[in-house]
Every structure is written in C-alpha cells, then in structure tokens.
Structure 1
Amino acid sequence: MGLKATAGHSFSVKNLNVDSDQSFLIDENYTTLDQLIYKYPFLPFAETTTAVNTLGMTRHFFELAEQILKDRKVKIGAQDYETAANEIIIQQKKILTLSESFYQSVQTSWSELLAKEKISKKAHRK
C-alpha cells in the first residue's frame, strides 16, 4: 500500500529474514512501554493517521485549485470564475465539517482511553 505520487507503492521485499529484536507485534498485549498511546488500538490509530494525511492533502488540493482558478480568471471569464470559486468554497465547507467531526471522534476515543485505559468497539467505528 502506498501513495502513487510518492512511489510508496513501487517496492516489495521477498525472502528476507528479520531478527526478532528488529520487529514488533501489532497487539497491545505485547507493548513494552507504559505510555497510554501504546494502548490505543492499532487499526484505528493507522486509520486516523491516514485520515489526517488525507485531510492535509485535500486542503492543499483546494489551495492549489484556488490559485489555478485565479491564474485563469481572465481566460475563463467572470461568470465561470464565480461559479468555480463558489463550488470550491462549498466543497471546502464540507471538508471542514467532516474534519471537525473526525477530530471530535478522535478526541472522544482518546478521552475514553484516558478514562478507562481502553477504547470501546463503539469508539472504534466512529
């Protein structure tokens, strides 16, 4: 798995032995450090990390789209410019709403971890 633009999808490893001191199990029962972050379930943690990256890329996409639109304003005409600019604003507001909901879900699951030292399955699904 990887991002095509980063070439993170373009390699593979076969027939490589890795020493046990250079590996880890993705299981909270095998954590060796006591910090609470290591009790956060791996799959939601990985999904959260991916979501944050995706949100950042999406925000940057809209910044670039706005700049491209401004650069082509004269070429496309005022009416088309306004239509496109308004659509960008609408979509940015949708992303902001989704982002706020996402961060609230993450905060809720973290608060649950702080209070109970584990996260319920309900919090995993949010």
Structure 2
Amino acid sequence: MGMSTETPNFDEMETVDAPDQSGDDDAEWIELDAGESIVGELRKRQETQEYDNDVLEIGRGLGDVVVMFSNGQIDRRLDTLAEKHGSAEGLVLGFKKTEETRTFTPNGQDEEVEFNLWEVRQLTE
C-alpha cells in the first residue's frame, strides 16, 4: 500500500489500542462450512496454550479482521510457506474447507473420524 500524497487528518484515523493477550477484540471468530473459503492477509499466526491448533488472524480489508482456528493441514502448508518466505505472516492467502472428506481412526479409538480436506492458496505477484 503506497502512501498517497494526501496525509490523512489525525481525527479521521482509527485509534490503535495496545494488544491484549486475548487477540483482536474487533475480530470476528469464523468457522468455515464445507465449500466455504476466505481470502485475506495472514496478519498473525498465534500458538495457544489451551488448544492444539494455532489461531489465525486474517485481514480481509481495512478494519475487517477475522480469526479462525488453524488445523494440521493448514499448519503444514503455512510451515512450507514460512520456510520459503521467512514467515507466512504478511502473505495474502486463501483458505478453503473443501467438500471432499477423508476418514481416519485416532490412536486407541475404534470409531473412524471424518474430516474435510482443506486447500490453501497464495496470491503471487
């Protein structure tokens, strides 16, 4: 985003709060249904103590930030991007929960668990 020649008026700008540990309060938690996708800049990939999965903060536009859980499939792809780019944060990515499913049987369980396959795409210049 380049700076325009007009400097914005301070009063018209949004207040920047110091981050608290709970994440972005203005951010909306989302959970994608099968077939749904989201595209935006990966602002933050935050590990949590209480959950197995990272929390992803995704900026879809000015002031439009959503938060969602990552999962093993997404994490592996973000790790690959991080190796390639130094960090996955700052990249414009698309995350899609596809209609396609797989099953697996967790260790020590008899019941199969079904899960959706996720697709991650990157906007390349």
- TM tier relative to shorter chain: under 0.3
TM-score, normalising length: structure 2: 0.22
Specify which structure has the higher proportion of helix. Answer: 1
Which structure has the bigger radius of gyration? 1
Specify which structure has the higher proportion of strand. Answer: 2
TM-score, normalising length: structure 1: 0.22
